[in-house]
Structure 1
Amino acid sequence: MDLRQMRQALVLSETLNFHRAAERLHMAQPPLSTAIRKLEEELGVTLFERLPSGLTLTPVGEIVLRQMRATLFFADEIRRAASEGEAGLRGKLRVGFVGSSVYSLMPRLIRAFRLKYPRVELVIEESTTVDLLRAVEEHTLDVALVRFPVLGKTSAEVMLVQPDPLVLAVSADSPLAGRESVALSELGDTPFIVYSQARVPTMHALMMYAFHAAGIQPPIAQEALQVPTILALVESGIGVALVPATTARQGAAGIRHIPLTGLPEQMDFGLALAMLPDAVNATTRNFAALAQEIAQE
């Protein structure tokens, strides 16, 4: 017994006529009659009662055909799942992101992906760039939104998708709050809140490089792990900070974001997609393509 025989029996149960069933199945009537007879012999039951007035389903036939209909439905579902999985329309995608991405790309990307690919299950994890890259390398994440540039060695492919330059975050009552721009070289005596050297080493190193290029060595008031924490500390008046420009979209009343001058020209900051080239499937490719599309809007 195979799916082809089940479909033949199902069509025959709907028409109760060998000739019409054969037409619907695009086959000749004799092979259909032979196939149904062999199916009945294999099952050891009579599915169709042959009467002078025509065919009718036997009680056993009604039970068997009900199960065949369910079997064919699930067989079609399996084929659909395989096809959609191959096209990236179904499955699971494990996505990592840095906290600063929630101010710009991340919410729009997740919303758009869920609308476009509703059958894909999203598993989302927040962490630091270092930990996200490690998770991608260990195959516990399929793709991650990380801060760019990445200075450390990684086997992941890192592709910049959204430039996001650094600005100076100050408290609303800071003497700097009314400035239209600030040169980094002016801030040699200003306490700074910086990224954690242990947990966010790339961003910490870039901050230190920017200070060095500007010829300053400001006091470090506090280290922090994520941008929201840094901004909260800035608002409390502990110090100022270099943060991504997109954080200004948070619109916190107690913080001012001021454009910076004097940053090294080669310091291109932004959000990037990280994934392993040899582990990219259709679902991951769809996510990456959508991220680039939304970032360009």
Structure 2
Amino acid sequence: MDLRQIKQALVLSETLNFHRAAERLHMAQPPLSTAIRKLEEELGVTLFERLPSGLRLTPVGDTVLRQMRNTLFFADEIRRAASEGERGEQGKLRVGFVGSAVYSLMPRMIRAFRLRYPRVDLVIEESTTVELLRRLEEHSLDVALVRYPILERSSASVVLLQPDPMVLAVSTDSALAARDAVDVTELGATPFIVYSRTFVPAMYSMTMMAFHEAGIQPPIAQEAVQVPSILALVESGLGVALVPATAARQAGDGVKLVPLTGMPQRLDLGIALVTLPETVNATTRNFVALAREIMPGPPGAPAPTAC
């Protein structure tokens, strides 16, 4: 018994006439009669009672045909799932992201992706850039939104989606809070809260590079891992910090973000999308294409590269 025989039996059950069923199936009547007879012999039951006035489903035939309809439905579902999977419209997509992406990119991208590909199961995880790159290399993530530029060695393809320059976070009772802008060269004696050298090495290196380029070496008051922790320490008056501009959404009433001048252009930050070219599937390609459609990047943004 195969799907072709099942379809023939179902069409015959709807017409109860070999001639009309054969026309609908675009085949001759004798081969259809032969196929139904072989199907009945294989099942060991009579599906259709042959009467002078035509055909009639037997009670067992009615039961069998109901199951055949289910079988044909699930066969069609399997074909559809295979087709949608090939086009990236069904399956699972594992997306990693850094915390700062949740304030701008993530809500827009996830909402748009769910609307366009509702049959894709999204698994979303937050971590640091270092950890996300490691997970990508281990193939436990398909795509990730990370901090740009990426200083770690990686074979990932990188697409800059959104620039996010550094600004100066100060407590509102600091004299710097009254300024419209601060030149980084003025901060040589100001205590700083910086990203953890161990857990956020890229951001730590970016901060140290900014100091080096400005020719200053301010005292380090504290290291922290996450932007909210850094902002809380700034608010407590422990020091100031260089943070991404998107941190404005996380800053409390006791923190002000002041624009910086004198920052080297090559130290500008951003949010980038990373994938491993050799493991990209159709679902991942759809996510990348949608991300570039929503966030085409700034003028002159770099094309996909490998780190």
TM-score by structure 1 length?
Answer: 0.96
For 2:53 and 2:75, the matched residues in 1 are separated by: 34
Shift of 1:235: 2.3
Partner of 1:215: 215
Contact 2:166–2:260, Cα closer than 8 Å, also in 1: yes
Runs of 4+ in 1 over 3 A off after TM superposition: 249-252
Q: Secondary structure at the match of 1:46?
A: coil
Which AA in structure 2 matches 1:150? I
Letter in 1 for 2:81: A
- What SS does the corresponding residue of 1:144 show, helix, strand or coil? strand
Partners of 2:183 and 2:190 in 1: how far apart? 12
Deviation of residue 233 (structure 1)? 2.0
Deviations, residues 10-40 of structure 1 (Å, cap 9, x unaligned): 1111121112222221222222111111111
What CA distance in whole angstroms lies between the structure 1 residues aligned with 2:294 and 2:234?
30
Between the aligned partners of 1:27 and 1:224, the Cα distance in structure 2 is 75
Distance 1:296 1:245 in 2: 19
The question of 1:293 aligning with 2:293 is answered yes
CA distance in 1, matches of 2:62, 2:143: 50
| Counterpart mapping for 1:137-286 below 5 A | 137-250=137-250, 252-286=252-286
Residue-pair matches, total:
297
Residue 136 of structure 1 corresponds to 136
CA distance, structure 1, for counterparts of residue 86 and residue 252 of structure 2: 44
1-side partners of 2:158 and 2:110: how far apart? 19
Please tell me the residue identity of whatever aligns with 2:205: A
What is aligned with 2:21? 21
TM-score when scaled to structure 2? 0.93
- AA matched with 1:263: M
Distance 1:142 1:161 in 2: 17
The offset of 1:253, in angstroms, is 2.5
- Residue identity over aligned pairs, in percent, reads 76
Gaps of 5+ in 2: 298-307
Q: Does the 8 A contact of 1:129 with 1:200 survive in 2? A: yes
Secondary structure, counterpart of 2:266 in structure 1? coil
Instruction: For 1:17 and 1:234, locate their aligned partners in 2 and report how far apart those are by CA, in whole Å.
Output: 84
Is the partner of 1:153 in helix, strand or coil?
coil
Q: CA deviation at 1:92?
A: 0.5
Q: Distance in 1 between matches of 2:53 and 2:173?
A: 95
Q: Is the 8 Å Cα contact of residues 158 and 272 (structure 2) preserved in structure 1? A: yes
Instruction: Quote the residue 2:67 is aligned against.
Output: 67
RMSD (Å), alpha carbons? 1.4
CA distance in 2, matches of 1:86, 1:62: 37
Distance in 2 separating the partners of 1:101 and 1:228: 13
* 1:70 counterpart SS class: helix
**Residue by residue, what CA displacement relative to the aligned partner does 1:175-229 show, whole Å, maximum 9, x if unpaired?**
1112111101111111211111001111101100100111111111211111222
